[in-house]
Amino acid sequence: MSTFKAVILVGGPSRATRFRPLSLDVPKPLFPVAGAPVVSHHLRALSKVDGLKEVLIIGFFEDNVFSRFVDDAATEFPNLHIRYLREYQELGTAGGLYHFRDEILRGNPQQFFVIHVDIASAFPLNEMVEAHMKHRGLCTMLGTKVPREQATKYGCLVAKPSTNEVLHYVEKPDSFISDLISCGVFLFDTAVFGEMKKAIDRKKDSTEENDYLWTPSDDKLRLEQDLLRPLSEQHKLYVHVTENFWRQIKTAGSSIPANAAYLELIKKESPEKLAQSKPEGPEIIGAVYIHPSAHVDPTAKIGPNVSIGPRVTVGKGVRIKDSIILDNVQLGTASCVLHSVIGWNSKIGKWTRVEGSPASDHNIDMMKNGVKSQSITILGKEVLVADEVIVRNCIVLPHKELKSSFHSEILM
């Protein structure tokens, strides 16, 4: 009998506009980071929770988007039963949970995890379980500290240090409240569905009272604003603070720090999955993932923090650092790829340099005063870059052919 279940909230196609141009060709949850789709890192962490047998992936992508992934995941995580449940419409983060409550409650689990897909984390789920069993609340949320000036971009919370009880929760506050933020990872008692029912009723009442303010979006139930806030007021919300890594995966460029963090984690947990330097080459620095079907010339130097996808060809004297190279990319002799994502089937010429700026810890805007901000360089699918040119601090949409150098531009 299983005590735990888990729900991964993956959202839908309209939610990933900030992940363009990569989301034009793959749904964000399936974008490969550190050699595996974003969502499979969640599954890997869930597979290590004792008594957790079923994971429901909830979103409003078409069913077929996830069918292949769910099949593959079944092989990789044989102890998990993984299903994709499609919302009939965008229901909001908690609306989907409530809608599928029967599926979640089937088999009478006592607790269930809810994890947003757009984060990268070490997922200390077992520690959360331990913390959860020590208090009488309905929910334990994972929290982390961020730099003070970044905090207002997230859900901020104030907790009582002695008990970890959440006293106050505000989603994206206007002014500084706390540098402790919600990570988007929750462990709920199943009794929380009662609170969700109350929240929905409250929303209906207030809708009737403010009829003239009614909008279709009020049909939705938002996990953070509509559920967590009342839970904290009822002293039923607790936080478990982690000092381990945590990143959002919002913009396409944020895949690079997430890739780096996951590669470091894999290096600690199962270094055999990563590439090793051999005397005959190639030279590998730090954590590097190379798919077995990729061909890497022995004169190449790769790493740290590089993921190389299936069927990639890395030519002579190629240098790659802090980058993701997607399926079937060809990198020409002596080319240099730094702080970049190279899209599927792209071709990089000889002595060509594709360079981004190191990603800062937290997301930054793509444009500032009409000038493209310094960030990761992203080449979409099937981009061809000529020999000897430099493409620096650019975002290149799919199927472009670049015959000359570009700096700080978005190339449509």
Query: Which of 153, 319, 362, 372 touches another protein by CB under 8 A?
Result: 319
Helix (H, G, I), strand (E, B) or coil at 291: coil
Q: Which residue among 20, 99, 229, 321 contacts another protein (CB under 8 A)?
A: 321
Min dist CB 142 to another protein, Å, is: 36
Please provide the DSSP assignment of 45-60 as one string: HHTTSTTEEEEEEEES
Between 172 and 403, name the residue whose CB sits nearer to another protein.
403
Residue 142's H or E segment, with its range, is: strand 139-145
Site pattern 139..178 for another protein (x: CB under 8 A)? ----------------------------------------
| By the rule CB under 8 A, 355 interacts with another protein | yes
Q: Candidates 52-60, 95-103, 225-233, 351-359 — which segment interacts with another protein by CB under 8 A?
A: 351-359
Closer to another protein by Cβ: residue 41 or 347: 347
Q: How many residues does the chain have?
A: 412
48 vs 407 by CB, closer to another protein: 407
Q: With CB under 8 A, what is the number of residues at the site for another protein? A: 18
- Is the CB of 332 or the CB of 343 nearer to another protein? 332
Smallest distance from the beta carbon of 334 to another protein, in angstroms? 4
Q: Which stretch binds another protein (CB under 8 A): 65-73, 154-162, 193-201, 330-338?
A: 330-338
Tracing tokens 């981009």 back to the chain, one arrives at 383
| SS3 category, 63 | helix
- Which amino acid appears at position 20 of this protein? R
From residue 243 to residue 282, the character string flagging contacts with another protein as x (rule: CB under 8 A) and all else as - is ----------------------------------------
**Shortest Cβ 147–another protein spacing (Å):** 23
Distance of CA 103 to the CA centre of its chain: 24
Q: With CB under 8 A as the contact rule, which of the stretches 2-10, 71-79, 106-114, 311-319 interacts with another protein? A: 311-319
Nearer to another protein, 151 or 336 (CB): 336
Does position 3 bind another protein by CB under 8 A? no
User: Long-range contact list for 322-331, CB < 8 A, 24+ apart?
Assistant: 322/256, 322/260, 322/358, 323/256, 324/32, 324/33, 324/255, 324/256, 324/259, 326/32, 326/381
**Is the four-CA dihedral 58, 62, 64, 68 of positive or negative sign?**
negative
From the CB of residue 176, how many other CB atoms can be counted at a distance below 10 Å? Answer: 11
**Closest CB 297 distance from another protein, rounded Å:** 11
**Identified binder of another protein from the candidate list 5, 28, 99, 392, rule CB under 8 A:** 392
Q: Near another protein by CB under 8 A, which window of 2-10, 115-123, 155-163, 312-320?
A: 312-320
Interface with another protein includes 97 (CB under 8 A)? no
Omega prior to 282 cis, within 30 of 0:
yes
Q: Which is nearer to another protein, 181 or 334 (CB)?
A: 334
Contact 187, 46 (CB under 8 A): no
3 state SS of 249: coil
185 contacts: CB under 8 Å, gap ≥ 6: 113, 114, 115, 116, 119, 121, 123, 125, 128, 141, 142
- Give the span between the Cα atoms of 101 and 53, in whole angstroms: 17
Give residues with Cβ within 8 angstroms of 272, minimum separation 6. Answer: none
Residues found near another protein in the complex (CB under 8 A): 299, 301, 316-317, 319, 321, 333-334, 336, 338, 350-351, 353, 355, 388, 390, 392, 407
